[in-house]
Amino acid sequence: MRTRTLFTACMIQVIVLCFLFVPGLWAADPIVIGVPTSTGFLEGKECLKSVQMAVEEINKKGGVKVGNENRIFAVESIDIRDAAPGVPVPEALLGLEKIILEKKPTALVVGPFRSEALMAGMDIIAKYKVPLIGTIAMSPASEGKIKENPEKYKYIFRSCLNAKYLVKYLAGTMGFIKAQYGFNKVYIVNQDVAWARATADIVTKVYFAKAGWEVVGHESFPTGTSDFSSALMKVKATGAQVILPIFDMPQSGTLVKQWNSMKIPSLLAGFISPLAGPGAWNTFDKKIGGAINVNFEMGSAISSDKMPLAKAFVESYEKRWGSKLEAGHGPAPSYESVYLLAEAIQRANSLDADAIVAELEKTNREGVMGRVQFDEGHQVVFDMDPDKSAVAAVFQWTEEGKRIIVFPTAVAEGKIELPKGLTAIKQ
Amino acid sequence: MFTGTLIYALINSVILCLIAIGFNLTFGISGIANFAYGAFYILSAYSTWILMHSFNLPYFVSVMGSIILTMVLGALMYQLVLKRVRGQAISEVIATFGIGMAILELFRYLGFVGFEYNLPPFIDSSYMILGTYVDMQRILIVIIGIILVLLLWVFTHNTSLGLAFRGIAQDERTALTFGIDSDKIATLAVSLGAGFAAIAATIIIPLGSIFPSEGYDVLIKALAVCIIGGLGSTGGVIAASFLIGFAERFTDTYIGSHWTMIVSLAAIFIVLVVKPSGLFGKQKELEERI
């Protein structure tokens, strides 16, 4: 009887010692990264997968060191549905608050699609003091709010392209086309929604009006339009050499197909979201050759041989998930945001929100999109040189179904090919 | 540019006619306003896509399969739901709208959202007509649209089933005395209407892509055409399609594309004020006079 009691006591001691000293058996709780976004949409799905991929990579290397222990990451997501038509902002905010209260995340990444949801959500984030690195919503108004009250809103960051930089890239592309071919007549077609109208107006005001372009026409199409023949006939009649489209509706691919089938002798160069990924070639019946599109971030569905980290990310994504990246906005900054967060936690050596925010502000990292640094509005700086800033990628679909990056020149892989019937003014 | 606008206005009119004719057929015969019509349109497009991509069936087989499936679902909707509420207009609208919403939101919930969901064109080429390039799919839409309208006319005027359809449409009680089973005819009318939605989807969707929200747009367009033309009148649907189709394209070209929607809505408003039963509608003509 005494022997059995002694044996049991010894066993209990061994088990207790195992829990105390064998790593892994007494592991600390994982650091939770929350992903509140519209997971039912392409960008949302691919952003979430990019976050999961970054987390897996970091965990494989042992996680991040906080204090004396290595902590791994865990991802918790919620579909806040703000991208779906008709979903009111308060409903999206309920999802945001739910994930904060129920999953107790150390930080959030990706965030809302719609800028109004982000703007309203900033107060919830400030209330619970959970850092957010947004990767979809683009309105610079959130930066203004941060600058106005930095102490309250310092928890909000954005690692994707914002609307201001989109204008910069569209204007840059137009400037590049003018310099290369001497074109100076443009026809603007945009979706009849606030962000697209504003982008078109700002490009007109800050670039076309000053750079010697003649805007020969400007049309706004209601969301859902599926026949662009009238505008395309006007493009032809006015002799516009360039069409600047700004759309993110699914029907906008029809514009490119009609431009192709009506053989309009103008260069189509701008932003049409369905054209971003490699799948667009088959989606649009191989009829998009010649179209030029801005992908918002390098690494989001496109990479350049000149940027090995972007190439590695795009290839790893395909290997990990068995499908190619298709979203031209979101995945690269989402992946990058996890690394930004991991590095900030490691530098802060703490999970305290204020300490993480202080370290995020000091970010200076060479990553998938180029060099990542935040400005005073907590927006990642985008410019034209990946050694100095993050970059977007402007590419042209070839007639063989390949995407060739043509701008910015630092990462360009080829020259712009003009459509049949359009010749350069300047040789 | 004028000739080009005329050509694309004609195409737009036929597209509107194709979209509305099934809705109108169902209402004209059974008196049921099938608010699940847009959902059937999208359902058939997704079914074709699924049959092609998940079951690797040839395009033509997938198209035929999805048309049959949509027609069967239309018939089932009548037999399982509408039969019980037939004659109660509000209940019919609520039931069909609910079913339509459930179908569309189910596709959204299941993740059928993305640019990859589209159907290929039948023939991939474009031709110059009077100085304007037009793709073959649009030319086919016009040809198929005309053929369908003619077939419908022949069917309703020269077959016993078609005559039974017209009998029910004209006076259900008298038709019953002739031994025409109104439930059977109504089932066929809802099924045939759903079939027309499926045919329209098959030939129109290749111009764009499949999206659940498109179902609501199709329903609104079908309603607009039928309200202007007069619910239940095939001639009215054709006339209204041409009225709206031409108005839209000419507004696009000569006024501005952002006014297009306003023109359609204004047309509905004016017709409702001047002639609430629509241009060729007879449904409430007597009441209007009183």
pTM for this one? 0.81
pLDDT at residue A25, as a whole number: 46
Tens of pLDDT, residues B62-93: 999 999 999 999 999 999 998 888 888 899 99
Quickly tell me which residue has 């239940």 as its tokens: B232
Tens of pLDDT, residues B185-220: 889 999 999 999 999 999 999 888 888 888 998 999
Peptide linkage before A408 cis (omega within 30 of 0): yes
* Domain extent listing, chain A: 31-161+307-372, 164-295+392-411
Question: Mean pLDDT over residues A334-343, rounded?
Answer: 97
Beta bridge partners of A293: A270, A395
Inter-chain touch B257–A230, beta carbons under 8 Å: yes
Tens of pLDDT, residues B86-129: 888 899 999 999 999 999 989 988 888 777 788 888 887 888 88
* Domain extent listing, chain B: 2-289
| Residues on chain B bordering chain A, Cβ-to-Cβ distance under 8 angstroms | 1, 4-5, 8, 11-12, 108-109, 111, 113-116, 118, 120-121, 124, 126, 132-135, 206-209, 211, 213-214, 217, 249, 252-253, 256-258, 260-261
Beta bridge partners of B126: B135
- Chain A's closest residue to B251, CA to CA, is A230
Who has greater pLDDT, B171 or A240?
A240
Question: Mean pLDDT over residues B19-29, rounded?
Answer: 89
Distance from CA of B285 to the nearest CA of A (A): 35
- Chain B's closest residue to A231, CA to CA, is B253
Question: Mean pLDDT over residues B160-168, rounded?
Answer: 85
Q: Running DSSP on this structure, what letter comes out for residue A135? A: S
pLDDT at residue A123, as a whole number: 95
Tens of pLDDT, residues A371-403: 999 999 999 999 999 999 999 999 999 999 999
Nearest to B133 among A45, A227, A263 (CB): A263
pLDDT at residue B289, as a whole number: 46
Percentage, residues of chain B above pLDDT 90: 42
Question: Mean pLDDT over residues A2-24, rounded?
Answer: 59
- Which residues in A lie closer than 8 A to residue B256 (C-beta atoms)? 219-220
CATH superfamily of A164-295+392-411: Response regulator (3.40.50.2300)
Question: Mean pLDDT over residues B145-174, rounded?
Answer: 87
- Model confidence at B287: pLDDT above 60: no
Nearest to B1 among A40, A237, A263 (CB): A237
Nearest to B116 among A84, A234, A279 (CB): A279
Q: Which CATH number fits domain A31-161+307-372: 3.30.420.40, 3.40.50.2300, 3.30.70.141, 3.40.720.10?
A: 3.40.50.2300
pLDDT at residue A11, as a whole number: 65
- Model confidence at B247: pLDDT above 80: yes
Percentage, residues of chain A above pLDDT 70: 93
Provide the CATH number for the domain formed by B2-289 in this structure: 1.10.3470
Query: Based on C-alpha coordinates, what's the Rg of chain B?
Result: 19
Inter-chain touch B133–A254, beta carbons under 8 Å: no
Inter-chain touch B208–A326, beta carbons under 8 Å: no
- Chain B's closest residue to A252, CA to CA, is B208
- Model confidence at A14: pLDDT above 80: no
What gap in Å lies between CA B162 and CA B158, rounded to an integer?
7
Q: A293: pLDDT confidence band, cut at 50, 70 and 90?
A: very high
Can you tell me the ipTM of this complex? 0.77
What gap in Å lies between CA A165 and CA A377, rounded to an integer?
14
- Which residues in A lie closer than 8 A to residue B1 (C-beta atoms)? 233-234, 237
Mutate to test the interface with A, among B205, B257, B259 (most CBs of A within 10 A): B257
Number of Cα atoms under 13 Å in the Cβ half of residue B216:
13
- Which residues in B lie closer than 8 A to residue A254 (C-beta atoms)? 207-209
Q: Which of A159-163, B25-29, B35-39 has the lowest mean pLDDT?
A: B25-29
Tens of pLDDT, residues A302-325: 999 999 999 999 999 999 999 999
Tens of pLDDT, residues A35-44: 999 988 889 9
Helix A331-348 to helix A353-361 angle, to the nearest 10 degrees?
A: 110
Nearest to B213 among A85, A253, A279 (CB): A85
Q: Which of A84-93, A133-142, A348-357, B144-153 has the lowest mean pLDDT?
A: A84-93
Q: A134: pLDDT confidence band, cut at 50, 70 and 90?
A: very high
Tally Cβ neighbours within 10 Å of residue A353. 18
Nearest to B1 among A233, A257, A280 (CB): A233
**In 3-state terms, what secondary structure has residue A74?**
strand
- Model confidence at B15: pLDDT above 80: yes
- Model confidence at A18: pLDDT above 50: yes
Q: Which of A68-77, A237-246, B29-38, B45-54 has the lowest mean pLDDT?
A: B29-38
pLDDT at residue A375, as a whole number: 94
pLDDT at residue A7, as a whole number: 65
What gap in Å lies between CA B230 and CA B223, rounded to an integer?
10
pLDDT at residue B70, as a whole number: 96
Inter-chain touch A262–B118, beta carbons under 8 Å: no
Domains A31-161+307-372 and A164-295+392-411 agree in fold = yes
pLDDT at residue B32, as a whole number: 84
- Model confidence at A269: pLDDT above 70: yes
- Model confidence at A52: pLDDT above 80: yes
- Model confidence at A24: pLDDT above 70: no
Inter-chain touch A221–B258, beta carbons under 8 Å: yes
Inter-chain touch A226–B111, beta carbons under 8 Å: no
pLDDT at residue A84, as a whole number: 77
- Which residues in B lie closer than 8 A to residue A192 (C-beta atoms)? 258
Tally Cβ neighbours within 10 Å of residue A299. 31
- Chain A's closest residue to B49, CA to CA, is A283
Question: Mean pLDDT over residues A256-277, rounded?
Answer: 91
Distance from CA of A247 to the nearest CA of B (A): 13
For residue A262, what are the CA distances in angstroms to A136, A257, A413, B136, B252?
34, 8, 29, 11, 17
pLDDT at residue B256, as a whole number: 80
Percentage, residues of chain A above pLDDT 90: 69
User: Residues B182-189: contacts with CB within 8 Å, 24+ apart?
Assistant: B183/B83, B183/B86, B185/B29, B185/B30, B186/B29, B186/B30, B186/B32, B186/B78, B186/B82, B186/B83, B186/B86, B187/B75, B187/B78, B187/B79, B187/B83, B188/B75, B188/B161, B189/B25, B189/B26, B189/B29, B189/B30, B189/B32, B189/B165
Nearest to B108 among A40, A257, A285 (CB): A40
- Which residues in B lie closer than 8 A to residue A287 (C-beta atoms)? 124
Distance from CA of A288 to the nearest CA of B (A): 13
Using an 8 Å Cβ cutoff, are A170 and A203 in contact? yes
- Model confidence at B59: pLDDT above 80: yes
Nearest to B253 among A41, A233, A250 (CB): A233
Q: Which of A147-151, A187-191, A196-200 has the lowest mean pLDDT?
A: A196-200
What gap in Å lies between CA A269 and CA A216, rounded to an integer?
16
